[in-house]
Amino acid sequence: MKTDVEELSPTRVKLTIEVPFKELDHAFDVTYKSLAKQVRIKGFRPGKAPARLIDRYVGRGAVISEAVNHAVPELYNEAVQKEEIFALGQPEVEITKLEDNDELSFTAEVDVRPKFEVTGYEGIEVTVDDAELTDEQVDDQVANLRERFGTLVGADRPAETGDHLSIDLSAAIDGEKLEDVQASGISYEIGTNTMLDGLDEALVGMAEGASSTFSTKLVGGEHEGKEADVTVTVHSVKVKELPELDDEFAQMASEFDTIAELRDDVRGRMEQVRRVQQVSQGRDRALEQLVDSIDLPLPDSIVEEEVTRRRESLEQQLTQSGLTKEGYFESQEQTEEEFEEELTKGARAAVKSGFVLDQLALQNDIAADNDELGQFITEQAQRMGVSPDQLVQHLVESNQIRVAYTEVVRSKAMNLVMGSAVITDESGNTVEQDTPQGETAEAANDDEAAEDPADESADASAEAGDRPAEAAADTAEDAAPAESK
């Protein structure tokens, strides 16, 4: 086999591959065996018909076409390995010559990772936010804990902002009641504005047993966006009474005997989370600084794939939370054009970051063993709430094991950068990097859980909903898809 490589651009090459027919024997053997099982030729059992009869029965041209379809992917992969090409995505293949018992020639155009070297990654200096806390921040966290232990009691008065109501909702369009737009016994806090536009205004001043009708646009369902008359009926009006912030509350809400001890513990937990966040922030800023220092072209097709993946991920999040793209844009105070611009910018940054970390790993012979891959999968499974075996099965079935392996290698490459990085806070204090990376990521992504001293004893009264904006932000930080060599 003869291979010629032409560089079309820094991120795209064209391979011209010429193969004598005698090197296609394996492909023809596979083809004949496959066709022999499919055809029925008198005098021969299934799978036993000779090649010459199969040529005559199905046609020599069809046999050659089938053999070439089988051979081309293998020949392409062999050429990529031989020429040490880092191919990205699927190639565009064109057969340029196909003569029986003579030669097969074809071309394959494919995007490739640009060639570059990573330098200047040692001794990176970054500045992160201070970890110091104010008394007001500690008070806010204690107040949140206090809210969790509040009790709802009946209010013998009309409803006010902040009250908790039990309500029924029904809707009608042009006087026709909508059977699929009804709900009973809904718990709702006035002022949260989490349901229908105009609902909060309608509820203020209503007493137990009262009903009111207001006009609004429906969200979700087959009548989404249509103007409707919504009737709300109040069954009960309750107000949340909060416990006193005293020693008795500390004993009820935590393991401590005094409110002073509880405050000290809250402060300590918050400071610990802040220190973990400093390391995580330093890691992000070090990578950003390294990536910004390197100028390299990016394949448009790979960037577009990443943009599409991010867009689909956000749309899935919005669907799961019952929101529309228009509603999301409004909540983010941005237009669709601004969103697409931000999406593309994030995708380009992710693709470039992936290239830089991959090259850094290559330069330093960084790889991942089975134990490291297994640990990564176990940690991901815990975060997803599934068993490691289930996640492994999913990765294998979706052909994503290579992606998981790449994530581990990239993380190790980033650890190499952080090993010599200098992190200081805005006050000039050196930030120690003694927190394990897994712990850093977990704590940085779950501040409230790390700060709350009453996770096991408190009974939360608020219900958390899906947060597509944060999910989109998380998606924007994902690494680029793994490349193949």
- Over the stretch 327-364, which tens digit does the pLDDT of each residue have? 788 888 889 899 999 999 999 999 999 999 999 999 99
Query: In the prediction, which pLDDT does 61 show?
Result: 86
pLDDT at residue 444 tops 70: no
Identify the pLDDT of residue 45. Answer: 64
* Domains assigned to the chain: 2-112 (3.30.70.1050), 125-135+248-476 (1.10.3120.10), 151-241 (3.10.50.40)
Which position has the token pair 């991959």? 358
Kindly indicate the confidence band of residue 455, based on its pLDDT and cuts at 50, 70 and 90: very low
pLDDT tens digit string along 4-28? Answer: 999 999 999 999 999 998 888 888 8
Lowest-pLDDT choice from 235-244, 382-391, 435-444, 471-480: 471-480
pLDDT-derived band at 295 (thresholds 50, 70, 90) equals very high
Structure tokens belonging to residue 471: 């999910």
**pLDDT value, residue 81:** 92
Q: How confident is the model at residue 463 (pLDDT cuts 50, 70, 90)?
A: very low
Q: How close are the terminal C-alpha atoms of the chain, in Å?
A: 19
Dump pLDDT digits (tens) for 422-435. Answer: 999 999 999 988 74
How many angstroms separate the CA atoms of 184 and 232, rounded?
10
SS3 222: coil
- pLDDT digit string, tens, across residues 320-329: 877 778 878 8
CA proximity to 245, closest of 222, 267, 266, 262: 262
Comparing 447 with 30, the larger pLDDT belongs to 30
DSSP string, 230-287: EEEEEEEEEEEEPPPSSHHHHHHHSS-SSHHHHHHHHHHHHHHHHHHHHHHHHHHHHH
**pLDDT for the residue 360:** 96
Cα–Cα separations (whole angstroms), residue 121 to 5, 129, 235, 287, 346: 32, 22, 64, 9, 22
pLDDT category at 47 given cuts 50, 70, 90 is low
pLDDT at 377: 93
Q: What is the mean pLDDT of residues 229-257?
A: 93
The model carries a pTM of 0.68
Q: Provide mean pLDDT across the span 438-456.
A: 43
What are 134-151's pLDDT values in tens digits? 899 999 999 999 989 999
Q: What percent of the chain has pLDDT over 70?
A: 87
Closest Cα partner for 133 from 273, 294, 31, 295?
273
Q: Residues 274-289: what's their mean pLDDT?
A: 94
Query: How many Å apart are CA 183 and CA 324, to the nearest integer?
Result: 21
